[in-house]
Chain A
Amino acid sequence: MHGYKVVVVDTDIGLRNLDVVMGLENRIVYDIVDVVEGNCRLKQGLIRDKRFDGLYLLPAAQTKDKTAINPEQMMELISKLKEEFDYIIVDSPAGIEQGFKNSIAGADEAYIVTTPEISAVRDADRVIGLLEAHGINNPKLIINRIRYDMVKRGDMMNVEDIVDILAIDLLGIIPDDEAIVISTNKGEPVIAEEKPLSAKAYRNICNRILGKEVELLDLETNEGKLSRILKVLFNK
């Protein structure tokens, strides 16, 4: 979108999904394990996105598991990718086992994505600790699926609470949005759409990664206001 060359690496071997939500599943011939094991060239493993020029995906293997690659191989892979791409985004699997270790092996920076729930924030805290132990300092925080109405009622942790606990810089907040469910089911990234608030949130995060100053989103949407007016009107 900004003219950079970007590759997304899915390291969730055995439970791959990134290709599905990007709508590229039917293009997979080779995967990350094939590339690492030398069954194909790196170029053959990369899948060009159907919408954005300069965006590529290196899919995970589905028939293997996390032990199919090790951190050393991952580091080698990332350094090869660095020669060609401006940004390499490594999607880490859940958990703190081998898959996580693989994904952080070649990383220079880390972005922690968490939801506003106690358990998720605890896990995020643990992950930040592990990242620091691995020499990746100052990870940035992205809070996902926040629901403004629940925060307002005091039923959900708010952004300040989470930032307070984790004590790292906030990169962005993404509202819980139906548009995301719709777009991932269709295999089209929500960011490509103009309207949804979540798309705006993602664009803001991109801009901040590129070093621009962007204000945090005001989550009080028009729809939110409207529904509240309705609620007042109908006394409910």
Chain B
Amino acid sequence: MREGLVSFKGINGGIYINVKNGEFNTILKELEEKLTKSIDFFREAKIIGIKGESISKEEKKELLNVIKYKYELNIIEDLEPSLKESVFDGIEEGMTKFISTTIRSGQVVEYDGNIVIIGDVNPGALIKARGNIVILGSLKGVAHAGVGGNTEAYIAAYDLRPTQIRIGSIISRKPDGNMDFIGIPEVARVCNKEIVIEPYLPRK
């Protein structure tokens, strides 16, 4: 099930390369392997750039040079800055990650799309999605939907008692003191620049 350090993602008009935390040489090796494997495909494609939190500017340049000169692929670097700013727009229909386990304290789930969790999210856990978050259990940790600025995103849970919820750049925390499970699912969304929580009522 282990995902590689290097993955390719299609986005308007091209492909960008997503690089995860890892040693530079391993990343380089993996990138070359993947490029060689389907070189014909990449020859047709436009590579927009490289994205990754831990990768430095010099490393990025080196990878781009490898792609450019060793494999002679098209790179359109001008588009790169817009990559970071882009707001995930797949909350109606888009990439979704499904997780069917309990997320415990200290664990982080991050995804460039929607997240559905069939399980609980315990206090101290962090869920970050660029789209919606739906939890078919209890949410007691921190959930951040609409990372990147999408305030249309929502957070829904069967038992919604989070430590904190964030949608886009809006933060809301739970009231002090203990809360009891109200017995019906709830949905948190942004309304007039504030996070409001409403009960989920069927046939609404």
Contact = CB atoms under 8 A, between A and B. Distances in A.
Which range contains the number of B residues in contact with the other chain? 10 to 19
B106 to A, nearest CB: 5
Contacts of B105: 62
Interface stretch (A23-31, A189-197, A226-234): A23-31
A23 B176 contact: yes
Contacts of B123: 20, 25
Which secondary structure dominates where chain B touches chain A?
A: loop
B106 A28 contact: no
Interface string B110-130: 000000000000011010000
Nearest to A26: B173
B108 interface: yes
B163 interface: yes
Interface of A: 14, 16, 20, 23, 25-29, 50, 62-63, 186-187
B171 A29 contact: yes
A85 to B, nearest CB: 24
A63 B164 contact: no
Nearest to A28: B164
B65 interface: no
Contact of A63 (B108, B171, B173, B174): B108
Contacts of B7: none
Contacts of A23: 176
Interface in B64-110: 105-108
A30 B124 CA distance: 13
Contacts of B171: 29
Given A63-B106, A63-B108, A63-B126, A187 B164 contact: no
Contacts of A20: 123
A-B interface, 4 closest residue pairs, ranked by CB to CB distance from nearest: A26-B173, A62-B124, A26-B163, A63-B108
